[in-house]
């Protein structure tokens, strides 16, 4: 696979250092002689505030994460932003609602139901689902459709390795993901004024789901996923807008047709199925040519150009060869 090229940022445009690494530590870890290239990383952080509430087996599996050659050397968005500035409407529409209202959510124990066009269907305990799969640390850019972005050190397993366990049939052309539905623990799900229907549904074409960049995340910043980031299991597809990366996954279905996703059902004009990051195709209500790299302020907006496929075009562009990306957005 070709090396993945990232936009080279100036000292004034990058995100400030992660709060748990000083400048000298980060430069040593990321081998800045190759700044601007995606290269193998060392572990970003081993310690994060608060206790890890995950069961010991998951903590242990996450701690054994190995660095990935898919990782960016860009500076990390501070932990407090990664875990405190989220879109997770199940807990509310405010950016701080998931952290504020997600603490009563209990992601353990957890089961995932696998159904559809595959040999290995059934309901699986999370531990059995992940057993034997190698966890990797991948530092990816995250680009929200709202035109803000972060650089996040995820922990997780390659989606292809997970999906192959279920032996998809030849007719399986798409994978549908469904989030948990627990209105008693998720106040946004019981709101009469919610913008979307629940449970949340997302989907990928099979070749997208099996692409080496696609990750099933189990942790962030060296620890298991906090509730507000989609504990215990979330999708990460770095070349697509963030709403594709569904959180708290409870069901996986192999199907022969493209699913109608949650945001498609809510507003198909603004949120297409593919949702590939594309600076040349504006959202109907704002430009997508630039993004605010968090943290930013009114007087220091920290704007950077948005790259096609969020900077991962060399790796994923061939998936869409011949497609009109203004139509299949």
Separation between Cα atoms, residue 165 and residue 207, nearest integer Å: 16
Residue 313: strand, helix, or coil = helix
Answer whether 143's CB lies under 8 Å from 96's CB. no
Query: Which CATH number fits the domain that encloses residue 125?
Result: 3.90.420.10
11 falls within a domain:
no
Instruction: Tally the domains of the chain.
Output: 1
Using CA atoms, how far residue 35 sits from 27, 185, 303, in Å, is 10, 43, 19
Res. 56: pLDDT tops 90: yes
Separation between Cα atoms, residue 156 and residue 66, nearest integer Å: 10
pLDDT, tens digit, for every residue of 95-115? 999 999 999 999 999 999 999
CA 261 to chain centre: 16
The pLDDT of 149-166, averaged and rounded, is 98
Q: Which of 83, 106, 105 is nearest to 96 (CA)?
A: 83
The pair of structure tokens assigned to 46 is 């081993």
112 falls within a domain:
yes
Res. 42: pLDDT tops 50: no
Res. 48: pLDDT tops 60: no
Separation between Cα atoms, residue 213 and residue 26, nearest integer Å: 24
194 falls within a domain:
yes
Angle at 41 between CA 7 and CA 314, to 5 degrees: 40
Answer whether 227's CB lies under 8 Å from 220's CB. no
Q: Which one-letter DSSP state was computed for residue 5?
A: B
The pLDDT of 145-153, averaged and rounded, is 98
Give the rounded percent of residues in the chain with a pLDDT score beyond 70: 85
Res. 28: pLDDT tops 80: no
17 falls within a domain:
no
> Facing residues of 136 across strands?
66, 156
Separation between Cα atoms, residue 82 and residue 292, nearest integer Å: 14
pLDDT for residue 50 = 62
**Predicted model pTM:** 0.86
pLDDT, tens digit, for every residue of 260-269? 999 999 999 9
Res. 244: pLDDT tops 50: yes
- Domain extent at residue 313: 23-320
14 falls within a domain:
no
91 falls within a domain:
yes
The pLDDT of 108-136, averaged and rounded, is 98
Confidence bin at 321 (pLDDT 50/70/90): very high
Contacts 24+ apart (CB under 8 A), 181-190: 181/250, 182/105, 185/104, 185/105, 185/106, 186/90, 186/91, 186/102, 186/105, 187/91, 187/92, 187/101, 188/88, 188/89, 188/90, 188/91, 188/92, 188/93, 188/97, 188/101, 189/90
pLDDT for residue 193 = 78
Res. 36: pLDDT tops 80: no
Using CA atoms, how far residue 56 sits from 49, 60, 71, 146, in Å, is 18, 6, 26, 36
40 falls within a domain:
yes
39 falls within a domain:
yes
Average pLDDT, the chain: 87
């Amino acid at each position: 696979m070709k090396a993945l090229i990232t936009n080279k940022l100036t000292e004034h445009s990058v995100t400030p250092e992660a709060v748990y690494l000083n400048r000298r530590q980060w430069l040593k870890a990321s081998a800045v002689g190759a700044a601007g290239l995606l290269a193998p990383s060392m572990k970003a952080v081993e310690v994060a505030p608060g206790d890890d509430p995950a069961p010991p087996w998951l903590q242990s599996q996450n701690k054994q994460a190995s660095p990935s050659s898919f990782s960016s050397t860009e500076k990390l968005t501070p932990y407090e932003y990664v875990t405190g500035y989220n879109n997770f409407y199940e807990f509310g529409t405010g950016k701080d609602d998931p952290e504020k209202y997600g603490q009563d959510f209990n992601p353990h124990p957890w089961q995932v139901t696998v159904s559809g066009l595959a040999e290995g269907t059934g309901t699986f305990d999370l531990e059995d689902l992940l057993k034997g799969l190698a966890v990797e640390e991948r530092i990816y850019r995250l680009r929200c459709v709202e035109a803000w972005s972060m650089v996040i050190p995820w922990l997780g397993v390659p989606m292809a390795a997970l999906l192959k366990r279920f032996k998809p049939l030849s007719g399986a052309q798409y994978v549908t993901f469904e989030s948990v539905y627990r209105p008693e623990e998720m106040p946004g799900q019981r709101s009469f004024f919610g913008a979307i229907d629940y449970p949340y549904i997302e989907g990928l074409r099979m070749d997208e789901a099996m692409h080496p960049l696609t990750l099933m995340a189990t942790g962030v910043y060296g620890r298991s996923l906090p509730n507000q980031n989609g504990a215990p299991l979330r999708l990460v597809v770095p070349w697509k807008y963030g709403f594709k990366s569904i959180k708290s996954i409870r069901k996986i279905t192999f199907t022969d047709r493209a699913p109608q996703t949650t945001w498609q059902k809510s507003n198909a004009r603004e949120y297409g199925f593919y949702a590939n990051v594309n600076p040349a195709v504006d959202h109907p209500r704002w430009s997508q040519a630039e993004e605010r790299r968090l943290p930013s302020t009114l007087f220091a907006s920290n704007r950077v150009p948005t790259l096609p496929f969020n900077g991962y075009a060399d790796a994923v562009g061939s998936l869409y060869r011949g497609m009109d990306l203004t139509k299949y957005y």
